[in-house]
Amino acid sequence: MKQPLNSISDSQLLSRLKQGENTAFQVIYDRYWKRLYAYAYSVYRDEGVCEDCVQELFISLWQNNKETTILHLESYLFKAIKYKLSAHIKKLKFDVVHDEELKLLGNPESEKTDMEYLELEEVITAHINQLSGKCREVFVLSRMKNKSNSEIAEELKISKRTVESHISNALRLLRSSLRETSYFSLFIILRLL
């Protein structure tokens, strides 16, 4: 029996979205629209602007979903709405209240770092996706889903030693393929790995 779309995980929805499933997009929209709007409205109390920003975000997600690699949908969407609001507020001739709202959104340097992190996350995901099937599966369970080696071995019906071998191989391949990145990026990558 096929699992209903509204009960599957974000990562499964993203996978189906990349395959062009309109219904997966609709589930993502239904799952996150109200929460994104509520967050936007808590920052900038203008219904029209908040609705526009959320709509633009979903349009962008739909149009760019095949090119954009997203590891964590919820985190990605909330960071994206923050950037859209920040960009909107900066375009305004704002008063003191808006100035305070800008400060709440963070300074441009931290936003730049957040954007760099998102871009780096996309690069890392692309490299992870290039790992062989079982190696990738083990690595994702270990590093993205925080499962122990024993839990992975049990789930995949392989030995703990095989799990360790896959993780070791994945780390070696990722470090090797990411050598061309800047020292700052490499530092972040090594901390993630």
63/34 same-domain check: yes
Least confident of 36-45, 47-56, 179-188: 179-188
φ, ψ (nearest 5 deg) of residue 74? -60, -50
- Domain range enclosing 191: 107-193
Which of 55, 88, 106 is the last residue before a domain boundary?
A: 106
* Whether the Cβ atoms of residue 69 and residue 129 lie closer than 8 Å to each other: yes
Average pLDDT for the chain: 76
How many C-beta atoms surround the C-beta of residue 58 within 10 A? 17
**Euclidean distance between CA atoms 122 and 127, whole angstroms:** 9
Say which CATH number the domain at 102 has.
Answer: 1.10.1740.10
Write out pLDDT tens, residues 129-164: 788 888 888 888 887 777 888 899 999 999 989 988
1 three-state secondary structure:
coil
Residue 64 shares a structural domain with residue 122: no
